[in-house]
């Protein structure tokens, strides 16, 4: 009879210090696990299991949304929809890449670049069009993706000798592309609030998106709640799992808000992310 032996898991003092996580006392995998052991470990309770599944399952939700939108929008012949297509093509694999990262210990930065395509096409203020920021917005975002991925990888080197520097570098790699990509959105929302525009689905969706983005940053930096009760949240409920859930919810609201312009037959009449939609909302 075929039997599968699940990999052994370890306590924090049984793995090298570089693998220690704040407040996580158990559930560690062997640092030199084989690829098969990594896959098998996703089916047993370790401190990475929920991290893996909270991004693997949403991958298929975003794939489903992509297929639904593909059936109602003409991505091939309508250039106005191409930035949304690029956004979806990058958003769909990004949680899967993150799931693989937690399974095999690697990284990806697809999501930030996808946001830049969508915001550069649909959220850029009218009087910024053809300006320097508009022309170079996406190329700079692509450059940021490479730089911040490298910065995040480099941050692991000083982790033992200078842990605070390592943490600061990872935070910068996380926050900088987010702040850059959202420049048009920040301007749009501030303009909308100052001019008392109508509270439509796009505005609400992006506000929820930013709320969950702030929560992801807070959880990433604070390591709460496991720092308050070490060992209590080793398997379920620690900050990185909550970080994943907030990230997926934020992406969901971002996608739904971004789809508001295409909910009607003509983009120019839609009350969402498109420039005409923002203008119409501000005039109500």
Residue positions forming the annotated binding site for Zn(2+): 102, 240, 244
Cis peptide before 63 (omega within 30 of 0): no
Would you list which residues are annotated within the binding site? 102, 240, 244
| Cα-based angle 135, 140, 144 (whole degrees, multiple of 5) | 165
Contact call for residues 112 and 141 (beta carbons, < 8 A): yes
Q: Which residues have CB under 8 Å from 110's CB, separation 6+?
A: 90, 91, 93, 94, 97, 145
Tokens 């609030």 found at = 193
Total Cβ atoms within 10 A of residue 225: 15
Length of the chain: 284
């Amino acid at each position: 009879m075929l039997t599968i032996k699940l990999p052994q898991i370890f306590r924090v003092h049984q793995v090298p210090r570089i693998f220690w996580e704040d407040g996580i006392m158990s559930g560690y995998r062997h640092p030199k696990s084989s690829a098969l052991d990594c896959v098998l470990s996703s089916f047993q309770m370790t401190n990475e299991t929920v991290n893996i599944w909270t991004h693997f399952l949403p991958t298929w939700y975003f794939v489903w949304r992509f297929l639904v939108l593909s059936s109602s929008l003409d991505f091939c012949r309508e250039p106005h929809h191409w930035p949304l297509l690029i956004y979806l093509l990058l958003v769909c694999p990004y949680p899967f890449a993150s799931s693989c990262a937690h399974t095999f210990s690697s990284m990806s930065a697809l999501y930030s670049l996808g946001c830049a395509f969508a915001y550069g096409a649909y959220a850029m203020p009218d009087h910024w069009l053809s300006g320097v920021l508009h022309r170079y917005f996406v190329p700079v975002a692509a450059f940021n993706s490479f730089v911040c991925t490298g910065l995040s990888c480099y941050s692991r080197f000083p982790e033992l000798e200078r842990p605070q520097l390592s943490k600061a570098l990872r935070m910068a790699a996380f926050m900088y592309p987010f702040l850059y990509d959202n420049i048009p959105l920040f301007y749009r929302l501030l303009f909308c609030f100052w001019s008392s525009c109508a509270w439509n689905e796009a505005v609400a969706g992006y506000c929820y998106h930013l709320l969950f983005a702030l929560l992801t940053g807070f959880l990433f930096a604070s390591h709460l709640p496991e720092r308050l009760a070490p060992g209590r949240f080793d398997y379920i409920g620690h900050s990185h799992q909550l970080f994943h859930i907030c990230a997926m919810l934020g992406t969901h609201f971002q996608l739904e808000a971004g789809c508001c312009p295409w909910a009607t037959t003509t983009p120019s009449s839609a009350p969402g992310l498109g420039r005409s939609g923002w203008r119409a909302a501000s005039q109500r």
